[in-house]
Amino acid sequence: MKTARTVSIWGLGLTVLALAGGCKSEAKVPRKPGSAKGTVTEVDLVNNRFKMRLEQPKSGKEVDAEGSIVPETEVWINGVRKAPADVELNDRVRVEYVRTGDELEQRFNVLRVEVDRPSNWKSTRAATPATEQAPKLVPLTGLKDSDAGLVPATPPAAATTQPAAAPPQPAPQNPADREAQAARLTLDIYAEIRRRYADAVKERAEMIAAGTPASDPKIVERERIIRRARDLLIEHGDNLDPIEPPLPEDGAKTATPTTAPAGS
């Protein structure tokens, strides 16, 4: 698939969510948190991020995602408040996130992580001796001591501590199956972008025909959606019909030059 820039399926999918939310809200309306369920595939405290494999309930498909750990991030394990360092590989989680930034340059900040573990669950990490004092709290990289999200420093290993058991690794996925899954998901995403694009074009035309001024926030928002969706579809190779009425910049490009009066 030829595109002018590389776009991850996760970023593209969340762009669809951004386009979807645009038609229902006015410009500059604060973004509401989203939520998703899945499995933790990486906890990177050095770079302050979680990586997860999230489920899509409607399609039954999975998508790999990445979210940033921020000072507001809360971690709850079986209803008890914990720290990001307590989240482990293969934990089943529900996450709440909020988008920041704009379009493909946006970030996804994790606000809350809820982990459900069996009552008889035991950590795969090395046990801390009972005589050892509670670990000192140290801030995540880039945060101040006064910020939330502090995590325990790794305690020194005691002579009696048993080596930690290696965490179970997810079963390897056949590359061909993974590529086929990615291809199907990409088709679904672009189908949704086409639908959002068509809806925005139609709604804008109806509002203009009804006499709504071009400066109205509803028209401005739909024009933003049209521009972003059009760019994605053209990069994907779609042939799109001209927009009627044309966007302001399109009208300027196609306007007929004014003929100067004779003799001027």
Q: Half-sphere exposure (CA, 13 Å, Cβ side) for 235?
A: 14
Q: Phi first, then psi: what are they for 184, rounded to 5°?
A: -65, -40
Query: How distant, in Å, are the alpha carbons of 25, 203, 221, 226 from that of 199?
Result: 14, 6, 12, 9
C-beta of residue 19 within 8 angstroms of C-beta of residue 102: no
Q: Token digits for 259?
A: 């003929």
Cβ-contact 124, 164 below 8 angstroms: yes
Of 72-86, 93-107, 186-200, 221-235, minimum mean pLDDT range? 93-107
| Residue 46: closest CA among 154, 168, 158 | 154
pLDDT 10s digits, 217-259: 999 999 999 999 999 999 889 999 999 999 988 765 544 444 4
Peptide bond before residue 167 is cis, with ω within 30 degrees of 0: no
Helices marked H in the chain — which ranges? Answer: 9-22, 175-209, 217-236, 248-254
Each domain of the chain, given as residue ranges in start order, spans: 34-115, 175-236
pLDDT at 21 over 60: no
Q: What's the whole-number mean pLDDT along residues 65-78?
A: 88
CA-CA distance, 113 to 80, in Å (whole number)? Answer: 11
Query: Which CATH code is given to the segment(s) 34-115?
Result: 2.40.50.320
Q: How many helices (H) and strands (E) does the chain have?
A: 4, 8
Which pTM does this prediction carry? 0.38
pLDDT (0 to 100) of residue 252: 54
